[in-house]
Chains A and B, each alone.
Chain A
């Protein structure tokens, strides 16, 4: 690794902490961002010469704060900047600063920075764009590419989001325990959104959107380091890791969706799975069940099955039942039906999803699953109607192509009696 690559990695990893602290000092996002930017420029200049500081984050906070204060003074008095040599010789000051900033401050700084991005007045897409820009430090160009929009459109979206929160109340006081828990829940939901934005966009755009998944995992790990004993944050991190581990096997060479059942499990990322399983094991010890933990436990059962036949569908059914209680939603019930089809057969599954029709009439996966259950029951004509509907609702070309495969098979063999198509949902969820 070159010096520059190392410095870049150090700046990226220090960013949430340093920017969070600078925001606390200046109480203004633009000033904090400028200060951090200034500190990074100085780091690029002095670190290759003097070697990296002992604590890069503290260095960046200290230098950034001084730079911003200087900038304010300069505007007033046209005073000269201190020489870089003076600024870079920080050993004592740096140590003192680290002493003063205790763990709780650091924790709340990062949480505040993330929390600002998930302000309730911002629509989800703006929240995500803002978090990627401010917290992760991705360039506007990178974010635009991930969202498949033009750079100027993304620039506008971020500017609009920033001006919206500039007018809103930003909580600078240290939160109490209840507020902290609320902030953490909001931030966790946003991290999950970022992940889904990258994960659900399966198809031709995968290589461009994969960075969203990586960023979400990095943010989840960051949260977990700050809140080591929170089982839901362990669950969230585990969930993202276990799902992302399957990414290399989710598409074939032609960009078509590969069902979970048909995936080459040797392509799954074993390191991510090991980390995910370790985290879900830790979370379960707390016996404080939550939606992320339950979803991670489901993903863990898939990850633990060496062959698709080894999958513990009965346990997955139970976990989805638990999720229905914790977080009732027609989509959860739909997912549960896929497990029910495995355990109790397609008739039971179909009976389970039929009441969902009014609420899921615009949902691709509903008709994909319905078609698959009908097909397994030998009701080919009805299956075809459901598949046609699914194609009309498909979000990506890969989704449509996948359903079309079923339809082609149906047309070829109209007397089809069975099939193993119940995994459509699991494959894409």
Chain B
């Protein structure tokens, strides 16, 4: 089964990391990703730009365009992984590996995926 592992953390805190600290966390996470990729379990991975870059469309008869994220929260959605796991325990174990690689105070939300379309044409080097 496919699971989305959603990464929540305070973007204030993550934004206070020096480049070296940020690089170090990314390198540790890359090790976990490589292991998942070698097992053929790693789907798309994304790191999102800060919520200040977000725009929200509030649906309605006249959809409303709002600057900023959908909700003001203490911790923000900063990125996500899609991982193939045979059981919930395996998904939790994977999230644990990711948590060990980035020991900040955030959280990983594990959400089983109902419909998954890998899509096409999204070049991995496009930012």
Task: List the interface of chain A (C-beta within 8 A of B).
Answer: 1-3, 5-6, 9-10, 12-14, 52, 54-56, 103, 218, 221, 224-225, 228-229, 234, 237, 270-271, 273-275, 278-279, 282, 285
CB distance from A96 to the nearest CB of B (A): 16
Whether the Cβ atoms of B52 and A225 lie closer than 8 Å is yes
Find out whether the CB atom of A274 lies under 8 angstroms from the CB atom of B103.
Answer: no
Contact call B105/A52, Cβ cutoff below 8 A: yes
* Other-chain residue from A14, A218, A270 in contact with B15 (beta carbon distance below 8 A): A218
Q: Are B21 and A5 in contact (CB under 8 A)?
A: yes
Contact B103 A1 (CB under 8 A): yes
CA distance A270 to B125 in the complex (A): 10
Q: Does B70 contact A (CB under 8 A)?
A: no
Assess whether A3 is in contact with B103, with CB atoms less than 8 Å apart: yes
Within 8 A of A (CB), among B38-77: 49-53, 55, 65-68, 72, 74
Is the CB–CB distance between A1 and B21 below 8 Å?
A: yes
**Contact of A282 with B67 at beta-carbon distance under 8 Å, contacts A6-B103, A14-B12 already known:** yes
- Known contacts A218-B16, A221-B15: does B21 contact A282 (CB below 8 Å)? no
CB distance from A277 to the nearest CB of B (A): 9
CB distance from B67 to the nearest CB of A (A): 4
Chosen A-B contacts, 5 in total, with CB atoms closer than 8 Å, are A1-B24, A1-B102, A13-B16, A274-B127, A275-B50
Interface size (B, Cβ < 8 Å)?
A: 27
CB-CB under 8 A from A228, the residues of chain B are: 52, 67-68
Docked complex Cα distance between A273 and B53 (Å) = 12
Report A248 CB to chain B, min CB distance, Å. Answer: 11
Q: Is the CB of A271 within 8 A of B127?
A: yes
For the complex formed, measure the closest distance between the CB of B113 and the CB atoms of chain A, giving whole angstroms.
26
* A224 lies within 8 A of B105 (CB): no
With A3-B103, A229-B68 already in contact, the answer to whether A9 and B13 are too (CB < 8 A) is yes
Cα–Cα, bound, A229→B54 (Å): 11
Shortest beta-carbon distance from B29 to chain A in Å: 11
Distance of A224 Cα from B74 Cα, bound (Å): 16
New A-B contacts (20) at CB < 8 Å, excluding given A13-B12, A275-B49: A1-B102, A1-B104, A6-B103, A6-B105, A9-B13, A9-B21, A10-B13, A12-B16, A13-B15, A14-B12, A54-B74, A218-B15, A218-B16, A224-B52, A228-B52, A234-B67, A274-B49, A275-B53, A278-B49, A282-B53
